[in-house]
Amino acid sequence: MIKIIFENPVFLWYLLSIPILIISHFTFLKNARFKAIRFSNFRTIERLTGVGPDKVMTKNWSMLIMRLFVLFSVILAISAPVVWYKNFSHDADFVLAIDASASMLAKDFEPSRLGVAKEQANLFVTSIRGDSTIGVVTFAGSSFIDQLPTNNKNLIKNTISNIEPIVLGGTDLAGAIISSTNLLILSERGRILVLLSDGSNTVDTFNKKSLDTALKYANNNQVIINTIGIGSSNGSIGYLPEYYNVTAIYDSEQLKYIANSTDGNFYNCETVEVFSEAFGDILRNPQKTYIHKDLNSILLLIALLILFFEWGLANTRFRRLP
Protein backbone atom coordinates (compact mmCIF):
# COMPACT_ATOMS: atom_id res chain seq x y z
CA MET A 1 0.00 0.00 0.00
CA ILE A 2 1.42 3.39 -1.02
CA LYS A 3 0.34 6.72 0.46
CA ILE A 4 1.37 10.20 -0.66
CA ILE A 5 1.05 12.88 2.01
CA PHE A 6 1.72 16.59 1.50
CA GLU A 7 3.22 18.20 4.59
CA ASN A 8 2.49 21.71 3.26
CA PRO A 9 -0.72 21.14 1.27
CA VAL A 10 -1.62 24.84 1.27
CA PHE A 11 0.99 25.41 -1.46
CA LEU A 12 -0.99 23.13 -3.80
CA TRP A 13 -3.25 26.14 -4.41
CA TYR A 14 -0.41 27.51 -6.54
CA LEU A 15 -1.31 24.86 -9.14
CA LEU A 16 -4.01 27.33 -10.18
CA SER A 17 -1.20 29.38 -11.70
CA ILE A 18 -0.74 26.74 -14.42
CA PRO A 19 -3.80 27.87 -16.45
CA ILE A 20 -2.58 31.45 -16.02
CA LEU A 21 0.76 30.47 -17.55
CA ILE A 22 -0.97 28.80 -20.50
CA ILE A 23 -3.28 31.78 -21.13
CA SER A 24 -0.45 34.30 -20.89
CA HIS A 25 1.70 32.19 -23.23
CA PHE A 26 -0.89 32.19 -26.01
CA THR A 27 -1.73 35.84 -25.39
CA PHE A 28 1.89 36.86 -25.96
CA LEU A 29 2.12 34.46 -28.92
CA LYS A 30 -0.92 36.10 -30.53
CA ASN A 31 0.74 39.47 -30.09
CA ALA A 32 3.88 38.09 -31.74
CA ARG A 33 1.83 36.87 -34.72
CA PHE A 34 0.31 40.34 -35.13
CA LYS A 35 3.77 41.88 -35.28
CA ALA A 36 4.87 39.23 -37.76
CA ILE A 37 2.91 40.86 -40.63
CA ARG A 38 5.65 43.48 -40.83
CA PHE A 39 7.86 40.84 -42.44
CA SER A 40 7.83 40.54 -46.22
CA ASN A 41 8.92 36.88 -46.16
CA PHE A 42 5.62 35.02 -45.79
CA ARG A 43 7.37 31.65 -45.65
CA THR A 44 9.07 32.86 -42.50
CA ILE A 45 5.74 34.05 -41.12
CA GLU A 46 4.22 30.62 -41.67
CA ARG A 47 7.05 28.93 -39.80
CA LEU A 48 6.92 31.49 -37.04
CA THR A 49 3.18 31.15 -36.46
CA GLY A 50 2.97 27.40 -37.08
CA VAL A 51 0.40 27.64 -39.89
CA GLY A 52 0.44 26.94 -43.58
CA PRO A 53 1.70 23.93 -45.59
CA ASP A 54 5.00 23.81 -43.68
CA LYS A 55 3.34 23.65 -40.28
CA VAL A 56 5.81 22.33 -37.72
CA MET A 57 6.00 21.89 -33.97
CA THR A 58 7.29 25.37 -33.20
CA LYS A 59 9.61 26.21 -30.39
CA ASN A 60 6.73 28.05 -28.66
CA TRP A 61 4.95 24.78 -27.89
CA SER A 62 8.15 23.12 -26.72
CA MET A 63 9.00 26.02 -24.42
CA LEU A 64 5.46 26.04 -23.02
CA ILE A 65 5.52 22.33 -22.19
CA MET A 66 8.93 22.54 -20.50
CA ARG A 67 7.92 25.57 -18.45
CA LEU A 68 4.73 23.84 -17.37
CA PHE A 69 6.77 20.88 -16.12
CA VAL A 70 9.14 23.23 -14.27
CA LEU A 71 6.27 25.10 -12.60
CA PHE A 72 4.45 21.89 -11.71
CA SER A 73 7.59 20.32 -10.19
CA VAL A 74 8.45 23.38 -8.12
CA ILE A 75 4.91 23.69 -6.72
CA LEU A 76 4.87 20.02 -5.75
CA ALA A 77 8.33 20.34 -4.17
CA ILE A 78 7.35 23.24 -1.89
CA SER A 79 4.23 21.27 -0.91
CA ALA A 80 6.64 18.71 0.62
CA PRO A 81 5.22 15.41 -0.69
CA VAL A 82 6.16 12.28 1.24
CA VAL A 83 5.60 8.76 -0.07
CA TRP A 84 4.86 6.11 2.57
CA TYR A 85 4.98 2.42 1.68
CA LYS A 86 4.93 -0.77 3.71
CA ASN A 87 8.03 -2.90 3.95
CA PHE A 88 9.94 -5.05 6.43
CA SER A 89 12.60 -3.27 8.48
CA HIS A 90 14.53 -3.42 11.76
CA ASP A 91 14.73 0.38 11.86
CA ALA A 92 11.80 1.48 14.00
CA ASP A 93 10.77 3.46 17.06
CA PHE A 94 8.46 1.87 19.63
CA VAL A 95 5.80 2.70 22.15
CA LEU A 96 4.91 0.14 24.81
CA ALA A 97 1.26 0.50 25.84
CA ILE A 98 0.74 -1.55 29.01
CA ASP A 99 -2.69 -2.36 30.39
CA ALA A 100 -2.68 -1.45 34.10
CA SER A 101 -6.39 -2.01 34.74
CA ALA A 102 -7.72 -4.15 37.60
CA SER A 103 -8.18 -7.19 35.37
CA MET A 104 -4.40 -7.28 34.91
CA LEU A 105 -4.10 -8.33 38.57
CA ALA A 106 -5.47 -11.77 37.69
CA LYS A 107 -3.30 -14.61 39.01
CA ASP A 108 -3.28 -16.89 35.96
CA PHE A 109 0.30 -15.58 35.67
CA GLU A 110 2.67 -15.28 38.61
CA PRO A 111 2.85 -12.85 40.28
CA SER A 112 0.08 -11.41 38.07
CA ARG A 113 -0.61 -10.52 34.45
CA LEU A 114 0.71 -7.02 35.07
CA GLY A 115 3.78 -8.30 36.90
CA VAL A 116 4.74 -10.57 34.00
CA ALA A 117 4.03 -7.82 31.47
CA LYS A 118 6.42 -5.48 33.30
CA GLU A 119 9.14 -8.14 33.53
CA GLN A 120 8.94 -9.08 29.87
CA ALA A 121 8.73 -5.45 28.75
CA ASN A 122 11.96 -4.68 30.62
CA LEU A 123 13.69 -7.66 28.99
CA PHE A 124 12.49 -6.37 25.62
CA VAL A 125 13.96 -2.91 26.30
CA THR A 126 17.28 -4.47 27.37
CA SER A 127 17.48 -6.53 24.17
CA ILE A 128 16.84 -3.66 21.74
CA ARG A 129 19.91 -2.75 19.71
CA GLY A 130 20.65 0.53 17.97
CA ASP A 131 19.28 3.93 18.84
CA SER A 132 15.55 3.21 18.58
CA THR A 133 13.47 5.33 20.92
CA ILE A 134 10.85 3.84 23.22
CA GLY A 135 7.91 5.53 24.86
CA VAL A 136 5.69 4.09 27.61
CA VAL A 137 1.93 4.49 27.98
CA THR A 138 -0.22 2.92 30.68
CA PHE A 139 -3.98 2.74 30.51
CA ALA A 140 -7.11 1.70 32.30
CA GLY A 141 -10.25 3.83 32.03
CA SER A 142 -7.92 6.61 30.82
CA SER A 143 -4.49 6.68 29.20
CA PHE A 144 -1.35 8.09 30.78
CA ILE A 145 1.96 8.96 29.15
CA ASP A 146 4.52 7.62 31.63
CA GLN A 147 7.57 8.19 29.45
CA LEU A 148 8.14 10.24 26.30
CA PRO A 149 10.11 8.41 23.58
CA THR A 150 13.80 8.17 24.50
CA ASN A 151 16.75 5.84 23.92
CA ASN A 152 17.77 6.00 27.60
CA LYS A 153 17.13 2.35 28.50
CA ASN A 154 17.66 2.75 32.23
CA LEU A 155 15.06 5.51 32.35
CA ILE A 156 12.59 3.39 30.37
CA LYS A 157 13.09 0.32 32.56
CA ASN A 158 12.66 2.35 35.74
CA THR A 159 9.44 3.78 34.34
CA ILE A 160 8.11 0.30 33.54
CA SER A 161 9.12 -1.09 36.94
CA ASN A 162 7.24 1.70 38.70
CA ILE A 163 3.94 1.06 36.93
CA GLU A 164 1.16 0.58 39.48
CA PRO A 165 -2.26 -0.97 38.84
CA ILE A 166 -5.19 1.37 38.27
CA VAL A 167 -8.05 -0.55 39.82
CA LEU A 168 -10.91 1.79 38.84
CA GLY A 169 -12.34 3.09 35.60
CA GLY A 170 -12.42 0.06 33.28
CA THR A 171 -10.16 -0.40 30.23
CA ASP A 172 -10.02 2.01 27.29
CA LEU A 173 -8.09 0.41 24.42
CA ALA A 174 -9.09 3.18 22.00
CA GLY A 175 -7.63 5.89 24.22
CA ALA A 176 -4.40 3.91 24.61
CA ILE A 177 -4.02 3.61 20.84
CA ILE A 178 -4.58 7.33 20.27
CA SER A 179 -2.16 8.39 23.02
CA SER A 180 0.51 6.00 21.75
CA THR A 181 0.05 7.14 18.15
CA ASN A 182 0.55 10.74 19.23
CA LEU A 183 3.95 9.78 20.69
CA LEU A 184 5.02 8.22 17.38
CA ILE A 185 3.84 10.93 14.98
CA LEU A 186 7.20 12.74 14.87
CA SER A 187 9.25 9.58 14.35
CA GLU A 188 11.31 9.47 11.16
CA ARG A 189 11.61 5.67 11.38
CA GLY A 190 9.06 2.92 11.29
CA ARG A 191 6.34 3.49 13.90
CA ILE A 192 5.46 0.42 15.96
CA LEU A 193 3.08 0.24 18.89
CA VAL A 194 3.34 -2.85 21.09
CA LEU A 195 0.12 -3.15 23.08
CA LEU A 196 0.13 -5.51 26.09
CA SER A 197 -3.34 -6.30 27.42
CA ASP A 198 -5.85 -9.00 28.25
CA GLY A 199 -8.12 -7.42 25.65
CA SER A 200 -10.98 -6.63 28.00
CA ASN A 201 -12.21 -3.38 26.46
CA THR A 202 -14.84 -2.48 29.08
CA VAL A 203 -15.13 1.18 28.06
CA ASP A 204 -16.23 0.25 24.53
CA THR A 205 -18.03 -3.04 25.20
CA PHE A 206 -21.30 -2.28 23.37
CA ASN A 207 -20.02 0.10 20.71
CA LYS A 208 -16.87 -0.43 18.63
CA LYS A 209 -17.07 3.02 17.07
CA SER A 210 -14.40 4.59 19.30
CA LEU A 211 -12.02 1.66 18.77
CA ASP A 212 -12.47 1.81 15.00
CA THR A 213 -11.88 5.58 15.11
CA ALA A 214 -8.64 5.01 17.03
CA LEU A 215 -7.49 2.36 14.55
CA LYS A 216 -8.23 4.67 11.65
CA TYR A 217 -6.16 7.36 13.37
CA ALA A 218 -3.25 4.92 13.76
CA ASN A 219 -3.46 3.89 10.11
CA ASN A 220 -3.60 7.51 8.93
CA ASN A 221 -0.39 8.17 10.87
CA GLN A 222 1.44 5.08 9.59
CA VAL A 223 1.49 3.23 12.93
CA ILE A 224 1.64 -0.57 12.98
CA ILE A 225 0.14 -2.16 16.11
CA ASN A 226 1.46 -5.48 17.42
CA THR A 227 -0.75 -6.84 20.20
CA ILE A 228 0.41 -9.21 22.93
CA GLY A 229 -2.44 -10.99 24.67
CA ILE A 230 -1.99 -11.85 28.36
CA GLY A 231 -4.35 -14.41 29.86
CA SER A 232 -5.74 -17.93 29.82
CA SER A 233 -8.18 -19.08 27.18
CA ASN A 234 -10.07 -21.27 29.64
CA GLY A 235 -11.53 -18.16 31.25
CA SER A 236 -10.06 -16.07 34.03
CA ILE A 237 -13.06 -14.97 36.02
CA GLY A 238 -12.61 -15.26 39.77
CA TYR A 239 -8.88 -14.65 39.98
CA LEU A 240 -9.36 -11.17 41.45
CA PRO A 241 -10.11 -10.21 45.03
CA GLU A 242 -13.86 -9.82 45.42
CA TYR A 243 -13.71 -6.21 46.57
CA TYR A 244 -12.57 -5.08 43.12
CA ASN A 245 -15.91 -6.26 41.73
CA VAL A 246 -14.41 -6.79 38.25
CA THR A 247 -13.90 -9.75 35.97
CA ALA A 248 -10.69 -10.79 34.28
CA ILE A 249 -11.87 -12.28 31.00
CA TYR A 250 -9.17 -12.77 28.38
CA ASP A 251 -10.46 -11.43 25.05
CA SER A 252 -7.99 -12.58 22.40
CA GLU A 253 -10.39 -11.79 19.53
CA GLN A 254 -10.37 -8.10 20.43
CA LEU A 255 -6.58 -7.99 20.34
CA LYS A 256 -6.46 -9.95 17.10
CA TYR A 257 -8.89 -7.46 15.55
CA ILE A 258 -6.68 -4.53 16.57
CA ALA A 259 -3.54 -6.09 15.10
CA ASN A 260 -5.20 -7.13 11.84
CA SER A 261 -6.69 -3.66 11.36
CA THR A 262 -3.19 -2.13 11.12
CA ASP A 263 -1.48 -5.09 9.41
CA GLY A 264 0.35 -5.92 12.64
CA ASN A 265 0.92 -9.21 14.45
CA PHE A 266 -1.08 -10.75 17.28
CA TYR A 267 0.72 -12.90 19.86
CA ASN A 268 -1.45 -15.17 21.98
CA CYS A 269 0.54 -15.54 25.21
CA GLU A 270 -0.95 -18.04 27.65
CA THR A 271 2.40 -18.86 29.26
CA VAL A 272 5.49 -16.87 30.22
CA GLU A 273 7.54 -18.81 27.66
CA VAL A 274 5.26 -17.78 24.80
CA PHE A 275 5.33 -14.22 26.14
CA SER A 276 9.12 -14.19 25.89
CA GLU A 277 9.02 -15.67 22.37
CA ALA A 278 6.63 -12.92 21.25
CA PHE A 279 9.03 -10.15 22.22
CA GLY A 280 11.89 -12.16 20.72
CA ASP A 281 10.06 -12.38 17.40
CA ILE A 282 9.59 -8.59 17.34
CA LEU A 283 13.32 -8.10 17.94
CA ARG A 284 14.75 -10.82 15.68
CA ASN A 285 12.56 -10.59 12.63
CA PRO A 286 12.16 -7.51 10.44
CA GLN A 287 8.84 -5.93 11.30
CA LYS A 288 6.29 -4.84 8.74
CA THR A 289 6.22 -1.09 9.00
CA TYR A 290 5.89 2.07 6.96
CA ILE A 291 8.96 3.53 5.27
CA HIS A 292 8.88 7.06 3.90
CA LYS A 293 10.69 8.89 1.13
CA ASP A 294 10.71 12.66 0.75
CA LEU A 295 10.20 13.74 -2.87
CA ASN A 296 11.25 17.40 -2.48
CA SER A 297 14.82 16.99 -3.71
CA ILE A 298 13.79 14.75 -6.62
CA LEU A 299 11.19 17.23 -7.87
CA LEU A 300 13.59 20.17 -7.55
CA LEU A 301 16.23 18.20 -9.47
CA ILE A 302 13.71 17.53 -12.25
CA ALA A 303 12.88 21.25 -12.43
CA LEU A 304 16.57 22.21 -12.61
CA LEU A 305 17.32 19.63 -15.32
CA ILE A 306 14.44 20.92 -17.46
CA LEU A 307 15.59 24.51 -16.96
CA PHE A 308 19.14 23.64 -18.03
CA PHE A 309 17.78 21.71 -21.03
CA GLU A 310 15.59 24.67 -22.02
CA TRP A 311 18.55 27.04 -21.64
CA GLY A 312 20.64 24.77 -23.85
CA LEU A 313 17.97 24.65 -26.55
CA ALA A 314 17.45 28.42 -26.39
CA ASN A 315 21.16 28.93 -27.14
CA THR A 316 21.51 26.24 -29.81
CA ARG A 317 18.62 24.76 -31.80
CA PHE A 318 15.94 27.32 -30.88
CA ARG A 319 18.33 30.17 -31.61
CA ARG A 320 18.40 29.09 -35.25
CA LEU A 321 14.63 28.50 -35.49
CA PRO A 322 12.14 31.33 -35.99
List, for residues 281-319, the tens digit of each pLDDT value.
888 776 667 776 777 888 888 888 888 887 777 667 655
Cβ neighbours, 10 Å, residue 238: 10
Q: Are strands 223-230 and 2-6 parallel, antiparallel or unpaired?
A: unpaired
Q: How far apart are CA 280 and CA 286, in angstroms?
A: 11
Domain range annotation of the chain: 2-83+295-320, 91-285
Q: How far apart are CA 241 and CA 236, in angstroms?
A: 12
Confidence band of 155 (pLDDT split at 50, 70, 90): very high
Average pLDDT for 70-88: 82
Q: How far apart are CA 169 and CA 203, in angstroms?
A: 8
- Among 27-41, 80-94, 262-276, top mean pLDDT goes to 262-276
Q: How far apart are CA 202 and CA 174, in angstroms?
A: 11
Q: How far apart are CA 17 and CA 75, in angstroms?
A: 10
Average pLDDT for 51-55: 48
List, for residues 172-197, the tens digit of each pLDDT value.
899 999 999 999 998 888 899 999 99
Q: Does 289 or 73 have the greater pLDDT score? A: 73
Which residues lie below 8 Å from residue 104, measured CB to CB, with a gap of 6+? Answer: 112, 113, 114, 117, 165, 197, 198, 230, 248
List, for residues 94-125, the tens digit of each pLDDT value.
999 999 988 888 888 888 889 999 999 999 99
- Residue 56, pLDDT > 50, answer no
List, for residues 217-275, the tens digit of each pLDDT value.
999 888 999 999 988 765 555 445 544 555 567 888 889 999 999 989 999 988 888 88
Say what the pTM is. 0.69
- DSSP states along 63-115: HHHHHHHHHHHHHHHHT-EEEEEEEEES-EEEEEEEE-BGGGG-TTSSS-HHH
Amino acid 55: pLDDT:
47
* Residue 133 one-letter amino acid: T
Phi, psi dihedrals of residue 124, rounded to the nearest 5°: -60, -45
Q: Is the distance from CB of 194 to CB of 95 less than 8 angstroms?
A: yes
Confidence band of 57 (pLDDT split at 50, 70, 90): very low
Helix 252-261 vs helix 173-184: crossing angle, to nearest 10: 30
- Provide the mean pLDDT of the chain: 80
Element holding 123 (H helix, E strand): helix 113-127
User: Which superfamily does CATH assign the domain made up of 91-285 to?
Assistant: von Willebrand factor, type A domain (3.40.50.410)
